[in-house]
Chains A and B, each alone.
Chain A
């Protein structure tokens, strides 16, 4: 087991955004979370990554066989443990260069003290070279190295999406949380996106949780699905099972949807 949430519940004031969410994530899995708008999918991501502190329940991350409780940790601590994410609407550091975007994500991997930073002494130079090369290698891997000194906001939309994933990978995650990776992407490009996700999953030995509305993508690449509606898990299982689940069809897919 890599990640386990137990009766995870979160309230916004009186509103219950996520109710009793249970997930057992095995290493190497690709799990999809689907559900209508406002079902609490992104809230689950925000709870796991520490943006929100869960009202109830626990999230355990298994780090080399050792269980770490994630509830109460700050987002940067969760990320440092090996959980990275992307955002529904792209949240790059827009006015920084592509290279800086990636280097910043390696923040906790830099091994020099503030004093060495202030005086540019000691381990500063060797560490900076190491991080710069690491970032450039990643950019090369994601075919973004030609844009290294370009501002992130100047990249076309598709490349911004790719940069966001490259940036997330710079934190060296074991689990990657993808929040609607197909948002704003032309339906024809979905095949390429699916290949891309399969590729990074293999290359980086990743476990992935994916939120998505594009059913073709979800049904094709997810091994397991959880369906949320109004914060409750209304179904879970193999994509085929979900497709034929009457409750899901009613709540989410609706009538007349040709799936």
Chain B
């Protein structure tokens, strides 16, 4: 990254925050960070280390159970945030019902383990095959429901679509509440704790990878063009209906995955867990981390989840502090920490080459 050299007269007019951003120390940190991210071989290395740690931490109790639990929540929240970002950040719609999809995945998964599948399947080595299938079923069910929500998005958008997703979340909640066979308002207790750290790691990496692939594809570019100008993208041969359908299905699929993992971690789910407040949590993570950014989603989910735990000693006051934090974030960085920017680690090689070509061209022009 290059910084614009500013002349002295304008320097005095800079705000304190801009001056802070230009301080030599911060610039050096930024440079070091850039250099770190430029080393692309580090990413696979980190992934291998992460995978190893996900096995080692529970095995040797490197950290206590409570911290392990938080780490797993971070993973699930990353899945939820990145899938919501696809709709809210990349496509530019405003879905406020993400917890609804999560509920579908959670209930399908939980019902499979507690009521449908024979207990013998969940014991011993067989669970290694059965559990991913349960999670997949949760994702597939949510994706199917996502298909239904995608259809109204053909005709309406913006605030109106937000109302549709809001209604969807309420519908899911009250439908579950009114079916006694799946526990009604009491929910499903005693779900086996099948979600383990390696599984969370696996699904998180998969979600990040697949959604990144989608975004850096023809369909992903179609999603971006929808955010910019739907009429223009229609007129530039983008099959907007196909693109919307794919985005909603993919987003709800991973929300369902997150839900199934969540159910088998918390071991108890009820309709109340998946209300609008839960959806709001994911919205906060998206807008904190940054819209239209994979790196931002990872950051947002991690920071928010960890911060809420760290601030636990403040008790009720943390729900004053966190929203305040958000207010200031929206004032000074309305697009979140990483809004519309991306860590180079998440950008495919082929896309980076174009950037290089331009830099060469610029250097020649200078």
Contact = CB atoms under 8 A, between A and B. Distances in A.
Contacts of A175: none
Nearest to B212: A120
A128 interface: yes
Contacts of B340: 95
B237 A80 contact: yes
A111 to B, nearest CB: 9
B56 interface: no
A154 to B, nearest CB: 12
Given A75-B234, A107-B239, A96 B355 contact: no
Contact of B228 (A96, A114, A149): A96
A188 interface: no
B210 interface: yes
In terms of DSSP, what is the predominant structure of the interface of chain A? helix
B218 A112 contact: yes
Interface stretch (A19-27, A29-37, A98-106): A98-106
Contacts of A171: 236-237
A219 interface: no
Nearest to A164: B232
Could you say which of A94, A96, A124, A132 has the most chain B C-beta atoms within 10 Å of its C-beta? A96
A49 B234 CA distance: 10
A107 B239 CA distance: 8
A109 B246 CA distance: 18
A74 interface: yes
Nearest to A120: B213
Given A75-B235, A79-B236, A91-B231, A129 B350 contact: yes
Contacts of B235: 49, 51, 75-76, 79, 84-85
Interface stretch (B272-280, B293-301, B357-365): B357-365
Contact of B221 (A85, A91, A100, A149): A100
Given A100-B221, A119-B213, A120-B348, A95 B236 contact: no
Interface in B323-365: 340, 348, 350, 354-355, 357-358, 361-362, 365
A91 B354 contact: no
Contacts of A197: none
Contacts of B8: none
Contacts of A150: 358
15 contacts: A75-B231, A76-B235, A79-B237, A80-B237, A95-B227, A106-B237, A107-B239, A112-B218, A119-B210, A120-B217, A124-B217, A136-B354, A147-B358, A149-B355, A168-B236
Closest 9 CB pairs of A and B: A117-B217, A93-B228, A75-B234, A149-B358, A105-B236, A79-B237, A110-B218, A91-B232, A108-B237
Interface of A: 49, 51, 74-76, 79-80, 84-85, 87, 91-97, 99-100, 103-110, 112, 114, 117-120, 124-125, 127-129, 131-132, 136, 145-150, 167-168, 170-171
Given A104-B238, A127-B218, 17 more contacts: A51-B234, A76-B234, A95-B228, A99-B354, A104-B222, A104-B225, A108-B237, A108-B238, A112-B217, A117-B218, A119-B210, A120-B213, A120-B217, A129-B350, A132-B350, A146-B365, A167-B236
